[in-house]
């Protein structure tokens, strides 16, 4: 094996032991800044043949790595490799313990003392622990809310930290945790405090937002320092559908549970890009959203679609439309993080108009005074000349129903809330009815017999999974669905899909790593014929967000 690195070998059986028992490091810690006894392959100097010794890297992938490396002038972090075609977040997790990054001109061998000196003189690309707030400190992987408050309290009592090692004096921070967060933080005492908090991130040229920064300018996102990567994510190379099916205009309606979406999550540039670009790339015009922890969270996506601050949204070469949103006044479900809300997001230039929206109250109350059944969020839309009743459903799945994939678990039915019996009256009254959301059960489960009794039809079979993760990209469960009344089948084009492409982003946390999914639910899309004449906009995509609040219609 030629090249400048001739002693690459596989890692020990115990991936956490890199020093023969003298000291152990967490495998979750990022060692992209250093080399470990030449056990790792330097991806900035390795030849194609050397790269092919890595698990899952064939000739084509090795060539992609070399070409990408030459294009960007060398990798700055190990995580940058995930952006190479053929690698991705999943394969990176497999090989990251066997690779490292150093400059092409530097030596591939360092002593521990020289490593520490190099680290002390690195440019500040992490979070300054002397200026960060508790909320900002919690964005560091490994720092809990309690530890973040302890850091701020110690700083207030003893003054600014002089070195990173001083963190071990803070309650609940030991040497093991310090090793995990060392490369995510730095100490700077000479800089005067600034009133513009930027998540503790600093740069020598201009300030850049963190993943959870409230205000994001597209120029700031081109090269964000201190994040998981120095390069923007790559979206699928697609052209949006023509809006026609068999020569007839169609409108795409979708449902998407955003998994505990707070304002902080919605402001994450990775989450925001995934949600907005998924709608644009798949030509979705009406979206039912579940599991919003804060009512204002849906506004963030609506503003982005209309104003286009992210580079990918701003550079979208087709019309983005003019979007509006409405969110339930009252909670419609519960999640592990508390109550959640439901909402709708739609493009008014597609001939879609909202007439009214209301939460259907459940008349049944349990012993604790709480509603035993989930609240359904019902909205009446006009789509061209058609009238459409959309029911937004969010039912939290029990463990049994989540794994059943269609098998009935009668013994566990009490654990999973069902659709309220009173909803059967709604099914009889409403005509053009579409139910969208997270039903907490596969389509053929007994919990949804009430829908079959009223002749509604599920578009997604129980054998087609609707969840996603980096560990199981093809999914393991079928909980999200779209149900149609018989009257709507006449305008259903017969096309329905579960979107799986483009749901990850380098800026989305994935446990101890990056490149996670925006939600563990996939968007589910259905297509309907509609005699829609799209409105002409003088300045497409530049309108200010218009949020619709209609408490008068709450029932």
441 and 330 both lie in a single domain: yes
Domain that holds residue 142: 127-186
Q: Write a three-state SS string for 258-269.
A: EEEECHHHHHCH
450 and 377 both lie in a single domain: yes
156 and 299 both lie in a single domain: no
Report yes or no on 79 lying in a domain. Answer: yes
306 membership: H or E segment, kind and range? helix 297-307
305 and 178 both lie in a single domain: no
- pLDDT at position 249, please? 93
Report yes or no on 108 lying in a domain. Answer: no
266 and 132 both lie in a single domain: no
CATH number of the domain residue 74 falls in: 1.10.150.320
Give the residue among 124, 144, 230 at the shortest CA–CA distance from 185: 124
The two beta strands, 323-327 and 546-548, are: parallel
Question: Three-state DSSP class for 133?
Answer: coil
- pLDDT at position 417, please? 55
Report yes or no on 64 lying in a domain. Answer: yes
- pLDDT at position 49, please? 86
- Distance (Å, rounded) from C-alpha 310 to C-alpha 266? 13
- pLDDT at position 39, please? 53
- Distance (Å, rounded) from C-alpha 97 to C-alpha 77? 13
187 near 167, Cβ under 8 Å?
Answer: no
Domain C-terminal end among 81, 100, 119: 100
Give the residue among 388, 405, 394, 399 at the shortest CA–CA distance from 488: 388
Q: What is the pLDDT along the chain (555 residues), one digit of tens a residue?
A: 444 333 333 333 333 333 333 333 333 333 333 333 345 788 988 888 889 888 889 998 999 899 888 878 788 888 889 888 889 888 888 888 888 887 544 433 333 333 333 443 333 446 889 888 887 888 788 899 899 999 999 998 888 888 888 899 999 999 888 888 887 888 764 433 333 323 332 233 333 333 332 233 333 343 334 445 444 567 888 887 888 998 899 999 999 999 999 999 999 999 999 999 999 999 999 999 999 999 999 999 999 999 998 989 998 989 999 999 999 999 998 877 789 999 999 999 999 999 999 998 765 555 555 555 688 999 999 998 889 999 999 987 654 444 444 344 333 333 445 777 777 777 878 888 999 999 999 999 988 988 998 899 999 999 999 999 988 999 999 999 999 999 999 999 999 999 999 999 888 887 766 788 999 999 999 999 987 654 433 333 333 344 454 443 333
Instruction: Give first-to-last CA distance, the chain, whole Å.
Output: 73
177 and 313 both lie in a single domain: no
Give the residue among 96, 98, 43 at the shortest CA–CA distance from 66: 43
137 and 61 both lie in a single domain: no
Say what angle helices 297-307 and 269-281 make with each other, to 10 degrees.
60
Report yes or no on 461 lying in a domain. Answer: yes
Domain C-terminal end among 168, 186, 204: 186
Cross-strand partners of 189: none
- pLDDT at position 37, please? 33
78 and 179 both lie in a single domain: no
CATH number of the domain residue 133 falls in: 1.10.150.280
Report yes or no on 255 lying in a domain. Answer: yes
- Distance (Å, rounded) from C-alpha 220 to C-alpha 231? 12
175 and 292 both lie in a single domain: no
CATH number of the domain residue 261 falls in: 3.60.10.10
- Distance (Å, rounded) from C-alpha 488 to C-alpha 465? 24
285 and 324 both lie in a single domain: yes
The number of angstroms, rounded, from the C-alpha of 264 to the middle of its chain's C-alpha atoms is 12
Question: Three-state DSSP class for 341?
Answer: strand
- Distance (Å, rounded) from C-alpha 416 to C-alpha 440? 8
Report yes or no on 539 lying in a domain. Answer: no
296 and 332 both lie in a single domain: yes
Report yes or no on 409 lying in a domain. Answer: no
Domain C-terminal end among 152, 167, 186: 186
- Reported pTM: 0.58
Report yes or no on 351 lying in a domain. Answer: yes
- pLDDT at position 304, please? 95
Q: How many domains does the chain have?
A: 3
487 and 431 both lie in a single domain: yes
């Amino acid at each position: 094996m030629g090249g400048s690195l001739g002693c690459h070998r596989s890692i020990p059986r115990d991936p956490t032991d890199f020093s023969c028992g003298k000291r152990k490091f967490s495998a979750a810690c990022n060692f992209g800044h250093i080399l470990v006894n030449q056990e790792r392959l330097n991806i900035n100097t390795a030849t194609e043949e050397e790269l092919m010794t890595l698990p899952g890297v064939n000739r084509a992938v090795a060539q992609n790595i070399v070409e990408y490396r030459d294009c960007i002038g060398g990798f700055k972090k190990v995580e940058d490799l995930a952006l190479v075609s053929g690698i991705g977040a999943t394969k990176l997790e497999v090989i990251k313990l066997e690779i490292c990054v150093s400059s092409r001109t530097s030596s591939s061998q360092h002593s521990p003392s020289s490593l520490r000196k190099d680290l002390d003189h690195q440019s500040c690309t992490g979070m300054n622990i002397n200026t960060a707030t508790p909320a900002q400190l919690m964005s560091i992987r490994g720092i809990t809310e309690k530890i973040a408050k302890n850091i701020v309290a110690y700083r207030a009592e003893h003054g600014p930290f002089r070195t990173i090692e001083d963190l071990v004096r803070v309650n609940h921070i030991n040497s093991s945790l310090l090793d995990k967060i060392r490369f995510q933080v730095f100490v700077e005492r000479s800089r005067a405090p600034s009133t513009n908090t930027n998540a503790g991130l600093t740069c020598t040229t201009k300030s850049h937002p963190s993943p959870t920064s409230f205000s994001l300018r597209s120029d700031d996102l081109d090269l964000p320092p201190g994040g998981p990567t120095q390069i923007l994510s790559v979206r699928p190379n697609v052209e949006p559908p023509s809006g026609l099916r068999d020569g007839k205009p169609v409108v795409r309606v979708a449902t998407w549970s955003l998994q505990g979406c707070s304002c902080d999550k919605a402001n994450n540039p990775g989450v925001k890009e995934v949600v907005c670009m998924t709608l644009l790339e798949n030509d979705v015009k009406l979206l039912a959203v579940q599991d919003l922890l804060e009512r204002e969270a849906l506004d963030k996506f609506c503003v982005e679609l209309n104003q286009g601050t992210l580079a990918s949204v701003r550079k979208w070469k087709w019309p983005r439309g003019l979007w509006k949103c409405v969110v339930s006044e009252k909670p419609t479900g519960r999640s592990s993080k508390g109550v959640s809300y439901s909402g709708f997001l739609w493009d008014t230039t597609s001939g879609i108009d909202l007439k009214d929206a209301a939460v259907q109250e459940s008349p049944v109350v349990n012993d604790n005074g709480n509603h035993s059944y989930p609240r359904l969020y019902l909205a009446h839309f006009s789509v061209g000349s058609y009238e459409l009743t959309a029911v937004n459903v969010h039912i939290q799945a029990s463990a049994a129903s989540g794994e059943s994939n269609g098998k009935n678990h009668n013994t566990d039915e009490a654990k999973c809330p069902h659709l309220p019996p009173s909803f059967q009256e709604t099914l009889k009254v409403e005509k053009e009815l579409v139910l969208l959301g997270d039903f907490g059960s596969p389509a053929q489960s007994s919990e949804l017999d009430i829908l079959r009794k009223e002749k509604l039809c599920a578009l997604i079979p129980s054998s087609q999974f609707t969840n996603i993760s980096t560990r199981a990209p093809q999914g393991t469960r079928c909980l999200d669905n779209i149900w149609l009344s018989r009257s709507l089948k006449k305008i259903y084009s017969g096309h329905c899909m579960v979107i799986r492409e483009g749901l990850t982003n380098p800026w989305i946390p994935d446990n101890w790593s990056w490149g996670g999914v925006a939600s563990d639910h996939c968007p589910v899309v259905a297509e309907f014929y509609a005699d829609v004449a799209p409105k002409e906009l003088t300045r497409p995509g530049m309108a200010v967000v218009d949020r619709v609040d209609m408490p008068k219609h709450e029932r």
